[in-house]
Amino acid sequence: MKKKIVSLMLAAVMSIGLTGCGEATADDTYKIGVCQIVEHPALDAATQGFEDALKEKLGEDKVTFDVQNAQGEQPTAATICNGFVSANVDLILANATTPLQCAAAATTTIPVLGTSVTDYATALEVPVEEWTGASGRNVSGTSDLAPIDEQENMILELFPDVNTVGLMYCSAEANSKYQIQLIEAELDADGIAYKEYAVADSNEIQSVFSTAVTECEVLYIPTDNTLANSTETIRNIVVPAGIPVVAGEEGICSVCGVATLSISYYDLGYATGLMAAEILLDGKDISTMEIQYAPSVTKEYNAELCETLGVTVPSDYIAIGE
């Protein structure tokens, strides 16, 4: 009799466990932790798109978001992500590379989706030759990498007589360095000279950019959160010097750049939200979900700075804000 009771109890426990791994029920509610590295229009748009997609798929009364900003600090991002794990959230959205790395370090069981992350292999320290497109663990998401070859083509299209391109990035951001390496390969193939200018943090932007504008005819800024958070400072250096900036995304370009090959960060976040819905509602295995990319890119220009700096853009460029 005792054996029979134990068997029934084990069967009940197994049944409960299997139900937890399956599809969601109509009564389920979800708590999502969102760690965003800094306040910035592109990252804000990605978070908003993510929230909108999940509210649409789950229902507004079925999901709550704990959105926290790391203010650009890795230790703060780590504290936030560890807090989400302690609170046993159902899923973590890591908005930008540093939050992704912190969330991945904080948990191996809670699903972690990244957005506004350029290269997941670099962020997760997976050798390129071993990367298959999916992480094989509790991490997936969307990449904000616009085609680097097309960005380099844009530089040559707008400035065909350029001699030296200044490549600007923050050395603390692995994905920024990754983009710089990609565009260097493109510039090498076209025989265009370039110089790297790395800042360790925002405190070095003034001095590093002041040097770059005296040594280069054009500057390139990738999708770099440190520089994106200091666009007014950059503008106040490059505009008086008469040096144009080609940017990796619209938010940077709208303040201090002349042109960009832009993606929609809202759409990127929305796509991430759809991935989250698949995980939470359908029980999809995150470890097999391949990284997704922006479906389209747009050539955009900053009309004000193009006029100020005397830059003429082709007719297929769209003015930012139109």
Q: Which band of pLDDT confidence, cut at 50, 70 and 90, is reported for residue 175?
A: confident
pLDDT digits (tens, 9 = 90+) for 232-242: 999 999 999 99
pLDDT digits (tens, 9 = 90+) for 82-105: 999 999 999 999 999 999 999 999
Q: Which band of pLDDT confidence, cut at 50, 70 and 90, is reported for residue 5?
A: very low
The two structure tokens encoding residue 288: 């097999």
pLDDT digits (tens, 9 = 90+) for 117-163: 989 999 999 998 999 999 999 999 999 988 999 999 999 999 999 99
Domains of the chain, by residue range, sit at 25-144+265-290, 148-262+298-319
% of residues, the chain, pLDDT over 90: 84
Q: Which band of pLDDT confidence, cut at 50, 70 and 90, is reported for residue 20?
A: very low
Q: Which band of pLDDT confidence, cut at 50, 70 and 90, is reported for residue 21?
A: very low
Provide mean pLDDT across the span 226-249. 96
Q: Which band of pLDDT confidence, cut at 50, 70 and 90, is reported for residue 9?
A: very low
pTM: 0.76
Checking if the pLDDT of 287 tops 90, the result is yes
CATH code for residues 25-144+265-290: 3.40.50.2300
Q: At what angle do helices 97-106 and 74-86 cross, to 10 degrees?
A: 40
Checking if the pLDDT of 16 tops 80, the result is no
**CA distances from residue 303 to 27, 101, 312, 317 in whole angstroms, order as listed:** 51, 37, 10, 10
Q: Would you state the CATH architecture of domain 148-262+298-319?
A: 3-Layer(aba) Sandwich (3.40)
The mean of the pLDDT values for the chain is 91
What are the residues whose beta carbons fall under 8 Å from the beta carbon of 47, sequence distance 6 or more? 34, 36, 67, 93, 95, 269
Q: Which band of pLDDT confidence, cut at 50, 70 and 90, is reported for residue 322?
A: confident
Q: Which band of pLDDT confidence, cut at 50, 70 and 90, is reported for residue 25?
A: low
- Please check whether the two domains, 25-144+265-290 and 148-262+298-319, share a CATH topology: yes
Q: Which band of pLDDT confidence, cut at 50, 70 and 90, is reported for residue 7?
A: very low
Tell me how far the alpha carbon of residue 10 is from its chain's centroid. 45
pLDDT at 10: 35
Three-class SS state of 31: strand
